[in-house]
């Protein structure tokens, strides 16, 4: 049963990407496929991240520990979308202009923050294997607490990238703050201990 | 629905035009929504007949044009212009229209006229972005823009009533819009109802919203970055999908320096961006 549901989740995450790139390559998804793939993967990463952050509170609230089995899988899809987002920017927006890429990462705060978030997601994805997790022991959780900081950084990156709308990032802010508030004790303990 | 226009064809150009389907489906017209595809979807009901465009203010002969006048008052000609958006994408569009200077001359500006202020239609019933701050991106409407009088009188500055040989579709600013090809696209205000000659520099919408990001002049300038992104290069939207290698260098004044650079001599363009 779990395998079936997991397969469905994988499909739900993978099929939109296939559809997206198929349309983008064939120039059938709007006038500017580059902008389209960047926005789709970026907001997709944030959406999946919020869903994954909702899992633990939902599992507790409804006493369904089976839900916890979906956290890693969703987390890896967050990373996948974020990776595509970054590669879209480098390949299709900047078209391999490496100098411009370095300049943009350094000069543009919203891109700096985005890269910072990606730099957090990367080790989280790499350490998601059960074997590595076991080897890391307690430090695994310490490391993975950084997802909260990544989530805030991703939101800032999103908000900063927008020309004038505040409504949509506002909705995301409400969702994110709510999800973080649910774990405020855990987060403050972690941040406090780190000093 | 769009009507065919009578106009003088533009001379052939070696620049690759942006396909009509893209020109009419990728629009920033926040009165109809924030997504580039929103205006084409949400604006089709826009009523352009009847229409009134007034030329007023510091003029000795105020003018009011109705819908038919827009197409009859001046001979129409096609002009193929590059359009550079402040968001660092660009298009090449065959506009149809006439010089703004012709209209302004008819109104006979007084000696006090130093600037030209433009205003878009304000009609919240027809424009969902004006009804709702959520849809309209938190902008105070009506959308307003402005030019210095000498910029307005430059032969490149155009009032467009059509593209690709037909009347403008609503998402591109029907029935009449400004086109100032050496400035970022947001200067080229759409669906204009008022042109007013004034003595002082008029307020402009994006400048009000974020003065550190959008100046009054908004001349295309690869050397002055937007605070959040570089303006040194742009992506030219034509055809080819995701793998179109369409990033090109941005030129000062969008490549129209020969025609307009003299307007800004002795001005610090990093300060007057």
Residues of chain A with Cβ-Cβ distance to B139 below 8 Å are: 164
How far away is chain A from the Cα of B19, in angstroms, using its nearest Cα? Answer: 9
The nearest alpha carbon in chain B to A110 belongs to B228
The Cα–Cα gap between B273 and B271 comes to 6
Check CB contact of B30 with chain A, cutoff 8 Å.
yes
Q: What is the pTM of this model?
A: 0.92
The nearest alpha carbon in chain A to B245 belongs to A95
pLDDT at A193: 75
Cβ contact, residue pair B89, A32, below 8 Å = yes
Read off the tokens for B4.
């065919």
Q: pLDDT truncated to tens, each residue of chain A (195 aa)?
A: 899 999 999 999 999 999 999 999 999 998 999 999 999 999 999 999 999 999 999 999 999 999 999 999 999 999 999 999 999 999 999 998 999 899 999 999 999 999 999 999 999 999 999 999 999 999 999 999 999 999 999 999 999 999 888 899 999 999 999 999 999 999 999 988 755
Cβ contact, residue pair B241, A163, below 8 Å = no
The nearest alpha carbon in chain A to B235 belongs to A93
Check CB contact of A130 with chain B, cutoff 8 Å.
no
SS3 per residue for chain B: CCCECCCECCCCCCCCCCCHHHHCCCCCCHHHCCCCCHHHHHCCCCCCCCCEEEEEECECCCEEEEHHHHHHCCCCEEEEEEEECCCCEEEEEEEEEEEHHHHHHHHCECCCCCEEEEEECCCCCCCHHHHCHHHHCCCCCCCEEEEEHHHHHCCCCEEEEEECCEECCHHHCCCCEEECCCECHHHCCCCEEEEEEECCCCCCHHHHHCCCCCCCCCECCCCCCECCECCCEEEECCCCHHHCCCEEECCHHHHCHHHHHHHHCCCCCCCCC
The nearest alpha carbon in chain B to A21 belongs to B242
Check CB contact of A90 with chain B, cutoff 8 Å.
no
Cβ contact, residue pair A164, B134, below 8 Å = no
pLDDT at A112: 97
Residues of chain A with Cβ-Cβ distance to B83 below 8 Å are: none
Check CB contact of B35 with chain A, cutoff 8 Å.
no
Cβ contact, residue pair B138, A27, below 8 Å = no
CA B152 to chain centre: 12
Residues of chain B with Cβ-Cβ distance to A43 below 8 Å are: none
**DSSP bridge partners of B84:** B90
Check CB contact of B208 with chain A, cutoff 8 Å.
no
Query: What's the number of CA atoms in the CB half-sphere (13 Å) around residue B29?
Result: 31
Nearest in space to B35 (alpha carbons), one of B25, B20, B47: B25
Q: pLDDT truncated to tens, each residue of chain B (273 aa)?
A: 899 999 999 999 999 999 999 999 999 999 999 999 999 999 999 999 999 999 999 999 999 999 999 999 999 999 999 999 999 999 999 999 999 999 999 999 999 999 999 999 999 999 999 999 989 998 999 999 999 999 999 999 999 999 999 999 999 999 999 999 999 999 999 999 999 999 999 999 999 999 999 999 999 999 999 999 999 999 999 998 999 889 999 999 999 999 999 999 999 999 999
How far away is chain A from the Cα of B240, in angstroms, using its nearest Cα? Answer: 6
How far away is chain B from the Cα of A179, in angstroms, using its nearest Cα? Answer: 24
Query: Which of B30, B225, B241 is the closest to A33 by Cβ?
Result: B241
What is the interface pTM, i.e. ipTM, of the complex?
0.85
Check CB contact of A157 with chain B, cutoff 8 Å.
no
pLDDT at B88: 95
Cβ contact, residue pair A164, B235, below 8 Å = no
Write the CA distances from B10 to B16, B80, B140, B254, integer angstroms: 14, 7, 37, 19
pLDDT at B1: 84
Eight-class DSSP state of A66: G
The Cα–Cα gap between B80 and B92 comes to 7
Q: Which residues contact A108 (CB under 8 A, 6 or more apart)?
A: B228, B229, B230
Read off the tokens for A159.
């908000």
Residues in chain B: 273
Query: Which of A31, A107, A110 is the closest to B22 by Cβ?
Result: A31
Eight-class DSSP state of A94: S
3-class secondary-structure state, position A32: coil
Q: How many domains does chain A have?
A: 1
The nearest alpha carbon in chain B to A97 belongs to B247
Q: List the domain range (segments joined by +) for residue A39.
A: 2-192
CA B51 to chain centre: 18
**A interface test, pick of B207, B227, B242 with most A CB neighbours within 10 Å:** B242
Given the structure tokens 């055809």, which residue do they identify? Answer: B239
Cβ contact, residue pair B26, A166, below 8 Å = no
């Amino acid at each position: 049963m779990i395998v079936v549901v997991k397969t469905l989740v994988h499909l739900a995450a993978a099929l939109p990407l296939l559809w997206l790139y198929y349309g983008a390559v064939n120039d059938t998804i709007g006038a500017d496929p580059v902008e389209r793939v960047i926005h789709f993967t970026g907001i997709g990463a944030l959406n999946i991240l919020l869903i994954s952050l909702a899992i633990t509170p939902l599992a507790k609230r409804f006493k369904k520990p089976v839900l916890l089995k979906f956290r890693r899988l969703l987390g890896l899809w967050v990373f996948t979308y974020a990776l595509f987002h970054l590669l879209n920017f480098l390949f299709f927006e900047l078209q391999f202009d490496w100098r411009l890429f370095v300049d943009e990462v350094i000069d543009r705060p919203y891109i700096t923050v985005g890269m910072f978030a990606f730099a957090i997601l990367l080790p989280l994805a790499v350490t998601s294997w059960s074997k590595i997790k076991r080897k890391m022991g307690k430090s695994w959780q310490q490391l993975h607490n950084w997802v909260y900081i990544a989530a805030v950084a991703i939101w800032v990156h999103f908000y900063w990238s927008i020309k004038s709308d505040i409504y949509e990032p506002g909705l995301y802010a409400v969702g994110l703050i709510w999800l973080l508030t649910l774990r405020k004790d855990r987060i403050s303990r972690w941040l406090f201990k780190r000093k | 629905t769009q009507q065919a226009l009578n106009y003088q064809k533009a001379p052939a150009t070696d620049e690759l035009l942006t396909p009509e389907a893209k020109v009419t489906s990728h629009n920033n017209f926040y009165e109809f929504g924030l997504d580039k595809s929103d205006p084409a979807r949400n604006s089709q009901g826009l009523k352009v007949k009847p229409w009134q465009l007034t030329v007023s203010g510091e003029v000795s002969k105020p003018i009011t044009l109705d819908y038919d006048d827009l197409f009859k008052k001046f001979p129409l000609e096609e002009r193929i212009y590059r359009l550079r958006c402040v968001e660092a994408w660009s298009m090449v569009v065959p506009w149809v229209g006439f010089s703004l200077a012709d209209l302004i001359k008819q109104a006979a500006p007084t000696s006090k006229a130093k600037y030209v202020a433009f205003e878009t239609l304000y009609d919240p019933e027809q424009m969902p972005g004006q009804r709702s701050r959520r849809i309209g991106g938190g902008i105070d409407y009506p959308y307003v823009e402005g030019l210095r009088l000498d910029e307005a009188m430059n032969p490149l500055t155009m009032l467009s009533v059509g593209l690709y040989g037909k009347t403008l579709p609503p998402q591109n600013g029907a029935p009449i819009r400004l086109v100032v090809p050496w400035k970022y696209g947001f200067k080229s205000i759409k669906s204009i109802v008022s042109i007013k000659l004034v003595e002082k520099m008029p307020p402009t919408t994006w400048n009000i919203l974020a003065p550190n990001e959008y100046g009054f002049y908004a001349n295309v300038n690869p050397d002055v970055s937007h605070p959040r992104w570089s303006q040194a290069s742009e992506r030219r939207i034509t055809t080819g999908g995701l793998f179109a290698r369409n990033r090109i260098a941005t030129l000062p004044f969008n490549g129209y320096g020969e025609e307009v650079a003299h307007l800004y001599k002795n001005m610090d363009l990093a300060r007057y961006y």
